[in-house]
Amino acid sequence: MKRQQGYAIAHSAAGSQLHFSTIHKAVAAAVRQLRRWWQLAQQRHRLALLDEHALKDIGITRAEAEQEAQRPFWDEPNS
């Protein structure tokens, strides 16, 4: 009977470790996504601040820059 209890405790600890690992991966993925969204928002803000000469250098118009800058942070470009 004691062996069965020991197995149940060991099995429960292994399941708990697996659960923690799954949660850790999910939190890490969420942090990466939030970081990506923050970077997109910052890049779009900086794009809107560029002058006409800089926009010409990168080959976009003021209208295109404004359109990109107005996109919501979660609207990621297609890869």
CA 70 to chain centre: 19
- Boundaries of domain holding 38: 2-69
- The pLDDT value recorded for residue 11 is 54
Residue with tokens 């949660």: 23
- The verdict on residue 78 lying in a domain is no
Count how many domains the chain has: 1
Q: Where are the alpha helices (DSSP H) in the chain?
A: 2-49, 52-58, 62-69
**CA–CA separation, 4 and 16 (whole Å):** 18
As a whole number, mean pLDDT of residues 48-69 equals 97
Asked whether the whole model's pTM tops 0.75, one would answer: no
- The verdict on residue 75 lying in a domain is no
- The verdict on residue 10 lying in a domain is yes
- The pLDDT value recorded for residue 79 is 55
